[in-house]
Chain A
Amino acid sequence: MNVPAAWYLILAAVLFGIGAFGVLTRRSALIILMCVELMLNAVNLTFVTFSRTLSDISGQAIVFFVMVVAAAEVTIGLGIVVAVFRRRSSTSVDELAELKG
């Protein structure tokens, strides 16, 4: 079975959109973090698809960089979330009221 490349791109765009929508609407810091990860993985899928259609290996190499960055970001992010949680016992971004955004 041969799936056209465009489908992968559309899937990636949809995943990216779900991630972005989640970041903008969800209130829990952890879920926002997961949504950012979803967006990064949508990007990975896009890179791999283009790498395939362009017959260019560099798109696949880039995916490794993005993965490493995503992992580093999660590490730092969870650290910050834990630090905030210790003080507040909540991960909801609505309760971050000390700074008036």
Chain B
Amino acid sequence: MTITIPSVHYLAILPVLFYFGAALALLLATALSRNKVTLRVGTATTVLASIAALVANWFQWRCVARTGASTTVAHAIVLDDFAVIASAVIALSVAMTALVAHDWAARERVTGVEFHVLALASSAGALLMTQANDLIVIFLGIEILSIGLYVLVAFDRHRTTSFEAALKYFLLGGFASAIFIYGAALVYGATGSTNLTAVSYFLGTNVLLRPALLYAGGALLLVGFAFKVAAVPFHLWSPDVYEGAPTPVTGLMAAIVKVGAFAALVRVLISALGTQLDTWRPILWALVVLSTVVGATAALVQRNAKRLLAYSSINHAGFIMLGVWAGTVRGTAATLFYLMTYAPTVVASFAIVTLVGGPGDEHHAIERYRGLARRQPWLGGALAVLLLSQLGAPLTTGFYAKFTVLAAVVDAGGGALALIALLSAAVAAFFYLRWAMTLYADDDLEATRVEVPRLTGSVIALGVALTLVFGVWPGPLATLAQHATVLFTP
């Protein structure tokens, strides 16, 4: 018996290797000389690994432009523009989070580089998910992403809530992963492969006499994804975990888990199960309606900034899923565009929440923001812009993101769905605006000023700049997103 070793196109997996390599190097360095590896080294390593990944993304983009999309490692990993863009978004979010976490760690007196080791390893999982072309690789990506995050959520030793959130996230995350992999097993049984291309080919060339196995498998995969992106009715963990986790970790989770999980969801639904569009659409329809409506209405009664943002992110998950529902090239491009704009916005938002939370990371009542923009016009103004972007106000990226998704859905014949989502956005506008008004309330002018460390400040500035520049001038990003999906659809 001979074993053939699959050929590996190293450029395709270079960003993942950078992240894993950086995590291992940091871990080894700490083990060898405990005291010499400071927090500063950890932050620098994470940022450098992210920059290296972005540079690798640039070469990947050129490679795809030259030779077209390709698969490698026995067709388990795919290199196409969709993956490249999604990886770049993740790398940017990780770099931004690392800088925020640096100031947070200094404030909370967290020493050591474990935070960065875990963040790097988790991000490698997210990157793997964007490139996965096999259900098992998606599963491994989810697990690598989640296992690091479970520990990161528990990272704040001073707050009991942090541990509780970690336990909740772990138990429900493990449950969701088990459901996901059972779905993969059933799809394997129904189609004879876990490879997305092979599944797609099988379904395109065969008529299933008894499709129940495939349907059950697909449904379980969807449930697994819905847990990961916190779509209603699988969202119950998310407000608690967002609240309990250290705030920079919450920002990281909100950004990279969504990008990774949605990239994988698009691949599974459009690329592998594209022929079953009529079957999965109704399920997605229900998830979208529930997520947008419940996310928006539940956020109305929240008095805690982190919980409010958690429900807002559930609402956003519904919107991103809208693009997937469309099932068209346009819908996929809209999904990607939404992820590109949402990730920096949400990381910057949580950066501000980290600062306002103050030492101990526990003052997150909305009341704390009263008059913030009057005391500190720049910080308050930045938060106002980020909130308006999440609301979908014109001249911010959020507007164009929502607009493209809705246009794609109407185009695909989902007028009613678009209307429901739009109404939920109107409800959501209420709590975003209420928060933004609180910022400009004119009482409480004597409250303590919020310290803005340099690194966190620059991350917030970057997030706001991206939001405004591409809000006014969305052309380049939209072109990138469209370009990325034209090549991707098989």
**Which of B163, B168, B171, B186 is within 8 Å of A23, CB to CB?**
B171
**Interface-located stretch among B29-37, B60-68, B174-182, B314-322:** B174-182
- Near B by CB (< 8 A), chain A positions 56-78 give 56, 58-59, 62, 65-66, 69, 72-73, 76-77
Most chain A beta-carbon neighbours within 10 Å: one of B140, B167, B171, B178: B178
* Given A36-B175, A36-B178, A58 contacting B154 (CB threshold 8 A): no
**Which of A19, A42, A69, A98 contacts B143 (CB under 8 A)?**
A69
Chain B interface extent, by class: 35 or more
Report yes or no: A99 in contact with B182, Cβ–Cβ below 8 A.
no
Is the CB of B413 closer than 8 A to any CB of chain A?
A: no
Do A46 and B164 form a contact, CB below 8 Å, given A32-B171, A36-B174? no
Interfacial chain B residues near A9, Cβ < 8 Å: 189
Q: Once the chains bind, are A65 and B136 in contact (CB under 8 Å)? A: yes
In the complex, B170 has a CB within 8 A of chain A: yes
Q: Does B150 contact A (CB under 8 A)?
A: yes
Are A101 and B240 neighbours in the complex by a CB distance under 8 Å?
Answer: yes
Residues in A whose Cβ lies below 8 Å from that of B233: none
Chain A residues whose C-beta falls within 8 Å of the C-beta of B185 in the assembled complex: 43, 46-47, 50
Interface size on A, residues (CB 8 A): 43
From 65 to 101 in chain A, residues with beta carbon under 8 angstroms from any chain B beta carbon are: 65-66, 69, 72-73, 76-77, 79-81, 83-84, 87-88, 93, 96, 98-101
Interfacial chain A residues near B154, Cβ < 8 Å:
80, 83
List B contacts of A98 (CB < 8 A): 160-161, 164
Instruction: Provide the residues of chain B in CB contact with A42, threshold 8 Å.
Output: 182
Chain A residues closer than 8 Å to B46, beta-carbon distance: none
Main SS class of interface, A: helix
A87 touches B182 (CB 8 A): no
Q: Is A29 in contact with B139, judged by CB distance below 8 angstroms?
A: no
**Does the CB pair B240–A81 fall under 8 Å?**
no
Q: State the Cβ distance, B90 to closest chain A Cβ, in Å.
A: 21
Q: Are B174 and A43 in contact (CB under 8 A)?
A: no
Contact flags A43-54 to B (C-beta < 8 A → 1, else 0): 100110110011
Expressed in whole angstroms, the Cα–Cα distance for A54 and B213 within the complex equals 14
Contact of B188 (CB < 8 Å), options: A16, A29, A47: A47
Q: Cα distance A9–B190 when bound, in Å?
A: 13
Q: Tell me if B143 and A72 are in contact (CB < 8 A).
A: yes
Taken together as a complex, chains A and B put the C-alpha atoms of A33 and B182 apart, in Å, by 17
**In the complex, chain B residues whose CB is within 8 Å of the CB of A88:** 160
Q: When A46-B186, A50-B185 are in contact, do A76 and B171 touch as well, CB less than 8 Å?
A: no
Query: Is the C-beta of B463 less than 8 angstroms from some C-beta in chain A?
Result: no
- Among candidates A23, A49, A73, residue contacting B147 with C-beta atoms closer than 8 Å: A73
User: Nearest 5 A-B pairs (CB), nearest first?
Assistant: A39-B178, A50-B189, A99-B240, A46-B185, A36-B174
* Interface set of A (CB-CB < 8 Å, partner B): 9, 16, 19-20, 23, 29, 32-33, 36, 39-40, 42-43, 46-47, 49-50, 53-54, 56, 58-59, 62, 65-66, 69, 72-73, 76-77, 79-81, 83-84, 87-88, 93, 96, 98-101
Q: Offer 28 A-B interface pairs, CB within 8 angstroms, sorted by A.
A: A9-B189, A16-B178, A20-B179, A23-B171, A36-B178, A39-B175, A40-B178, A43-B182, A47-B188, A49-B189, A50-B185, A58-B193, A62-B194, A65-B139, A69-B143, A76-B170, A80-B150, A80-B167, A81-B167, A84-B164, A84-B166, A88-B160, A93-B171, A96-B164, A99-B161, A99-B243, A101-B236, A101-B239
